[in-house]
Structure 1
Amino acid sequence: MSMFELEGLTKRFGGLTAVDDLSFTVDRGEIVGLIGPNGSGKSTVFNCTMGRYSVTDGSIYFDGEEITDDDTHEVVERGLSRVSQESNPIDAMTVAANIKLFTLPNSVRTMRGGGDEETIFEYAARVDIEDKLHEEPGSLPHADVRRLEIAKALATEPEMLLLDEPFAGMNQQEIDELVTKFETFRDEGMTMIVVDHNMGGLMRLVDRVVVIHNGVKIAEGDPDEIAENETVRNAYLGSSEAM
């Protein structure tokens, strides 16, 4: 049984179909890349999965159970977490406090409980920001702010991560280091879907690639197959982007 499955996922906004009858699966421990030109529907897929958008048609399954109509907090409680393309730390709180927020019980009425100092340190150490715990996010370089977003997601103890543009704004060394981290996560049993426009970093990391264009799946295969796929190349060359 696949860990994650989209079955005929469709999302319309008025007369615009952002995702059109999209189906694919992700096996446990697999890293799948979801790629396509700007506006192809990638972030919409993530928003539907995480309960931010209602689904027009189709179904979403995680770990054998349907999550199509779940609220975001219910999806997270099931073991699915997202690293958004926009970094949104609370600048008035330290790095440690930002991470701790994501270990708190799921209630707006309580700020008590959550992870202890050792636990918070361990989440930070998984992405190499354990020496920044007492700093405020506004003082961090861009790459460390992105690492903080990943640490926050890890603090929900997910079985699967949705990574939306994790390499954005990073230099090649930072990308290489993050790829190595994600490979370590996979070795530890984490399942991932990665959206990114940095084809070098993404193709090096993923086991399989799903390509969508105008909300429709146009190709699926391993990185080498996708790199040579004429339909995929035309989709990118017809946009402002290139593989």
Structure 2
Amino acid sequence: MSLLEVDGLTKKFGGLVAVDDFSFEADEGEIVGLIGPNGSGKSTVFNCIMGRYDVTEGSIRFDGSDITDDATHEVVNKGLSRVSQESNPIQEMPVAGNIKLFTLPNKLTSFYGGATDEEIYEYAARIDIEDKLHEMPDELPHADVRRLEIAKSLATEPELMLLDEPFAGMNQAEITELADQIEQFRDEGMTMIVVDHNMGGLMELVDRIVVLNNGDFLAEGTPEEIAENEHVQEAYLAGEGL
């Protein structure tokens, strides 16, 4: 059975259909790439999975239970997390404090409890920022700000992580390093769905690719199959190839 099943997902904003009858799934321990031209609906799909948007039609199941109508904190408590496209650390808190926030109970008044210093160190170490715990976010280089977003996500102990543009703004060496770390998460048992415009980094990382175009399912296959798919080439790069 698939860990995540998205079945007939439709999301409308008034008269605009952002995602139209879209279905895909992710198996346990798999890294799935979700690609498509700008405006194709990728972030909308993520927002529906995480409960940020109400689903117009269709269903979303995670680990056998229906999460279609769950609030975001309920989705997170069941084992999903998302690394946002935008990095949004709290600038007044050091790296450790930003990570700890994501280990607190889901109550607005909860500033007590949460992870120990040792646990926060471990979350940071999984993404190689354990030596930056006392630095403020605005002191970090861009790649480490992105890693902080991933550490915050790791702190919720997810079974499945949605990564939205994890490679954005990184150079090739940083992309290669981060891809290796993401593969390590998979080796530890995590399932991931990755959206990114860096085709080189994505193609080398993922097991399977699902393609969205104008909110519709376009294609699915291995990276090699997708790279050679004429419909994908036409939609994505006007036939120039991936």
Tell me which interval the TM-score lies in, with the shorter structure as reference length: over 0.9
How far residue 238 of structure 1 moved from its aligned partner, in angstroms, is 3.7
How far residue 20 of structure 1 moved from its aligned partner, in angstroms, is 0.5
Aligned equivalent of 2:29: 29
- Separation (CA, whole Å) in 1 of partners of 2:189 and 2:183: 10
For 1:162-201, list aligned pairs within 5 A.
Answer: 162-201=162-201
Aligned equivalent of 2:152: 152
Deviation by residue 1:19-70 (Cα, 9 ceiling, x = unmatched): 0000111100000000000000000000000011000000000000000000
- Separation (CA, whole Å) in 2 of partners of 1:66 and 1:229: 33
1:61 equivalent in alignment to 2:78: no
SS in 2 for 1:100: helix
- Separation (CA, whole Å) in 2 of partners of 1:104 and 1:144: 23
Kept in 1, the 8 Å contact 2:228–2:241? The answer is no
**Structure 1 spans left out of the alignment, 5+ residues:** none
Partner AA of 1:97 in structure 2: G
How far residue 105 of structure 1 moved from its aligned partner, in angstroms, is 1.1
Q: 1:106 to 1:185 in 2, by over 3 A?
A: same
Partner AA of 1:222 in structure 2: T
- Separation (CA, whole Å) in 1 of partners of 2:35 and 2:126: 26
For 1:28-47, list aligned pairs within 5 A.
Answer: 28-47=28-47
Partner AA of 1:125 in structure 2: A
Deviation by residue 1:66-97 (Cα, 9 ceiling, x = unmatched): 00000000000000000000000000000000
Deviation by residue 1:117-174 (Cα, 9 ceiling, x = unmatched): 1000000001110000000001100000000000000000000000000000000000
CA RMSD of aligned residues (A): 1.1
TM-score when scaled to structure 2?
0.98
For 1:133-148, list aligned pairs within 5 A.
Answer: 133-148=133-148
Kept in 1, the 8 Å contact 2:212–2:218? The answer is yes
SS in 2 for 1:163: strand
* Percent identity over paired residues: 74
Aligned equivalent of 1:52: 52
TM-score when scaled to structure 1?
0.98
SS in 1 for 2:115: coil
How far residue 14 of structure 1 moved from its aligned partner, in angstroms, is 1.1
- Separation (CA, whole Å) in 2 of partners of 1:124 and 1:237: 37
- Separation (CA, whole Å) in 1 of partners of 2:140 and 2:80: 27
Equivalences, count = 242
For 1:80-229, list aligned pairs within 5 A.
Answer: 80-229=80-229
1:16 equivalent in alignment to 2:13: no
Kept in 1, the 8 Å contact 2:227–2:241? The answer is no
- Separation (CA, whole Å) in 2 of partners of 1:37 and 1:3: 26
How far residue 242 of structure 1 moved from its aligned partner, in angstroms, is 6.7
Q: 1:38 to 1:242 in 2, by over 3 A?
A: farther
SS in 2 for 1:144: helix
Partner AA of 1:107 in structure 2: K
How far residue 218 of structure 1 moved from its aligned partner, in angstroms, is 0.6
